[in-house]
Amino acid sequence: MDNGGGGAAHIPSAGGGVVGVQIRHSRRLPDFLQSVNLKYVKLGYHYLMSYLLTLCIIPLMVAILVEASRMNLDDIHQLWLHLQYNLVSVITCSAILVFGSTVYIMTRPRPVYLVDYSCYRPPDGLKVQFHQFMEHSRLTGDFDETSLEFQRKILERSGLGEETYVPEAMHSIPPRPTMAAAREEAEQVMFGALDNLFRNTSVKPKDIGILVVNCSLFNPTPSLSAMIVNKYKLRGNIKSLNLGGMGCSAGVIAVDTAKDLLQVHRNTYAVVVSTENITQNWYFGNKKSMLIPNCLFRVGGAAVLLSNKSKDRRRAKYKLVHVVRTHRGADDKAFHCVYQEQDSEGKTGVSLSKDLMAIAGGTLKTNITTLGPLVLPISEQLLFFATLLVKKLFNANVKPYIPDFKLAFDHFCIHAGGRAVIDELEKNLQLLPIHVEASRMALHRFGNTSSSSIWYELAYIEAKGRMRKGNRVWQIAFGSGFKCNSAVWEALRNVKPSLNGPWEDCINKYPVKTVT
């Protein structure tokens, strides 16, 4: 048990250490008991508010049943006569009920199911260890000693492991940041993920009616979506979209776009492909704020199969519950905090502002303010509202109440943008280490794979056998603009990992201890 200060670490000597620890523990015992009591008080309050409506309805139903049991045949006959004399009213009410039900059924949102998804697993030949990364950087001759040392420190503190991947062009000396090499990287990632997806789901490419592809920094002509149409010979009337320049949170935007299209087009499949391209976006200059992406971003991508067919519910893994998008592009600081530009020597890269974490925190706050009422139990909403009311009415210096999102979600897929991002969300949302384990391990094993990172994290949870029927998953991602986007999924069954998953041959090694 955690004693709050590690009493054993302060043992003065072998002779008096035990007594010292006993005294410290006895002094802290009332605090511990108080925290336990508060925990169970809050838990009891949560259950009371969650089932308050049921508790109110039960006595009412009992009263109705008791009253109905007292009715005799004469009372029932009188009720029937009353209905006969009011036939017009009965018919009118029935017509209104039928009309209202029909309108509701026709206009309600169609459920969107996640049939399956696939994360790309690069070949082992593309792995890059820290010493290889540093040696390669020295041999290119573009970095001065200060920049090399800066990159070494970033790598050590990044949370990345020794088995992440960089594209083949970056393994060459000198590197080959050509258009042809960038196309090759894009094809390997997208086609690799799609081949596995089609194989696992037995869905034919011709059955795909909607295609949404997102890649922030690489947008060739023809587009990435056109490359997929050409490769798999998709049908001519497919609704295809290509999202560019939208950063690491574009995967959720792509899902939201596909969801909207599935509301319009009946009985079809939608494929979402999320990736990023490194080949032409490696920075070869010495500006420190632009060197960080070199150390964090790695090769990765995911392909997701969505459906609005009712028959697919039986085999689907998840149902899409909510998507909430927040955009702070109107604020100049937020707009410039992740910015692609040229340095003083004309070398292009993505600059990360020192205000990035503060802006991300503010954007997250806006996003969860919208998401909270949709997912939080009434008990948490009342506490949040009461705190806000006290602050407004009495101008009291009341600390804002942070809702317990652990009561709304069973699993968290936080974009693996870097160790600092995961640390900050773990702290601000008051999560436990197990809640951010998937994010930390995805960062360690695959690095920052941009918009696809949330799918590697979901695959980790499945590979660990933790996804049970009815569990809710919160995918949350941040991206340039600045944006924070959330997607909420509900598991339709006990989910097992799909064949050829990214964790298939290494899940038993995880979790591993990462740098803190």
Instruction: Indicate the SS3 state at residue 440.
Output: helix
Euclidean distance between CA atoms 118 and 302, whole angstroms = 6
Planar angle of CA 232, 236, 237, nearest 5 degrees = 120
Query: Which one from 119, 444, 484, 485 is the annotated catalytic residue?
Result: 444
For this structure, is 444 an active site residue?
yes
Query: Which one from 286, 367, 411, 435 is the annotated catalytic residue?
Result: 411
Residue 355, class by beta-carbon neighbours within 10 Å (0-12 exposed, 13-18 middle, 19+ buried)?
middle
Euclidean distance between CA atoms 191 and 185, whole angstroms = 10
Query: Which one from 248, 337, 413, 484 is the annotated catalytic residue?
Result: 248
For this structure, is 25 an active site residue?
no
DSSP assigned state of 498: P
Query: Which one from 281, 286, 448, 471 is the annotated catalytic residue?
Result: 448
DSSP assignments along 137-159, one per residue: HHHH----HHHHHHHHHHHHHS-
Closest CA to 348 of 357, 340, 356: 340
For this structure, is 413 an active site residue?
no
Query: Which one from 214, 415, 484, 485 is the annotated catalytic residue?
Result: 415
DSSP assigned state of 110: P
For this structure, is 435 an active site residue?
no
Query: Which one from 308, 327, 337, 485 is the annotated catalytic residue?
Result: 327
Euclidean distance between CA atoms 450 and 456, whole angstroms = 11
Euclidean distance between CA atoms 15 and 141, whole angstroms = 61
Closest CA to 128 of 330, 294, 305: 294
CB-facing half-sphere around the CA of 57: CA atoms within 13 A: 4
Kindly give, in sequence order, each residue whose CB lies less than 8 Å from that of residue 47, ignoring residues fewer than 6 positions away: none
Query: What's the N-to-C CA distance of the chain in angstroms?
Result: 21
For this structure, is 119 an active site residue?
no
- Spacing of C-alpha 155 from chain mean position: 24
* CA dihedral sign of residues 77, 82, 83, 84: positive
| CB-CB contact of 487 with 306 (8 Å) | no
Give kind and range of the element (H or E) at residue 311. none
The pair phi, psi for residue 240, each rounded to 5°, is -115, 140
Kindly give, in sequence order, each residue whose CB lies less than 8 Å from that of residue 301, ignoring residues fewer than 6 positions away: 119, 120, 189, 190, 192, 193, 273, 274, 275, 276, 449, 452
For this structure, is 327 an active site residue?
yes
Structure tokens that stand for 363 in this block: 């954007």
* Backbone Cα Rg of the chain: 28
| CB-CB contact of 243 with 250 (8 Å) | yes
DSSP assignments along 66-81, one per residue: HHHHH--HHHHHHHHH
**Distances in Å between the alpha carbon of 19 and those of 4, 6, 11, 353?**
18, 15, 9, 51
Q: Which residues are catalytic?
A: 248, 327, 411, 415, 444, 448
